Amino acid sequence: SPTGISAFPYIILIFTIIFVLLILNAVLILFDLITVIAISSVSTIFLVTFVLQDVIILSLLIYNAILLWKRKEETPKKVIRNLSLLALVTIVLCLLRIIYSFFDSSYVYSTAYYAQEMILIIRNVLYATIWTCYFRKSVRVKNYYGEVKK
C-alpha cells in the first residue's frame, strides 16, 4: 500500500469482532433454550442439539482464530474447510430439530421457532460464504500467507 500500512490487521479485527458476537449469540441461545426447557416440557433433544451445535461452532471459530495468527500457507484452506463445516453443522442440526418438531406431540411449536431456526441457518451460511469468498479471492490473503510469490 502507498502508506506502508497493511489492511490485513483490520480484517483480523473484523473477524475477531464477529467471532465475539457469535460467542455472545451462542451463550444467549443456550440461555434461552435452558429457560424454555425449565418452563415447559420441550424434549431434551433440543438441549442436546443446541449444546452440540454451540460447542462445535465455538470450537471451529476458536481454531480459526488461532490459525489466522499463524502465518502458514495452508491456513486459508483450513479456514475455508472449517467455515464449510460450520455451515454444514448448522444446517444439519437445525434441520434435525425442525424435523423432530413435526413429530413431537408433547409441545406446540410456533412459527417464531421455525423462523429462529431459519435465521440461524441463513446467518451462519452467509457468514461462512462471505469469509470463504474473501479467503479464496483476496490477493492480500494470498500474499500474507505466502500463496503468491512475487
Confidence (pLDDT) at 62 = 79
Q: How many CB atoms lie within 10 A of CB 121?
A: 18
Confidence of residue 93 (pLDDT cuts 50, 70, 90): very high
Q: Is the pLDDT of residue 102 over 90?
A: no
Mean pLDDT of 43-48: 73
Q: Which amino acid is at 131?
A: W
Mean pLDDT, the chain, whole residue set: 79
Mean pLDDT of 91-111: 84
Q: Is the pLDDT of residue 1 over 50?
A: no
Dist CA 22 CA 27 (whole Å): 9
Instruction: Please name the residues in contact with 22: beta carbons below 8 A apart, sequence gap of 6 or more.
Output: 57, 58, 61, 127
How large a percentage of the chain has pLDDT more than 90? 25
Confidence of residue 128 (pLDDT cuts 50, 70, 90): very high
Nearest to 125 by CA among 83, 95, 93, 96: 83
Dist CA 23 CA 59 (whole Å): 10
Contact 121, 91 (CB under 8 A): yes
For 110-122, the pLDDT digits (tens) are: 788 888 889 989 9
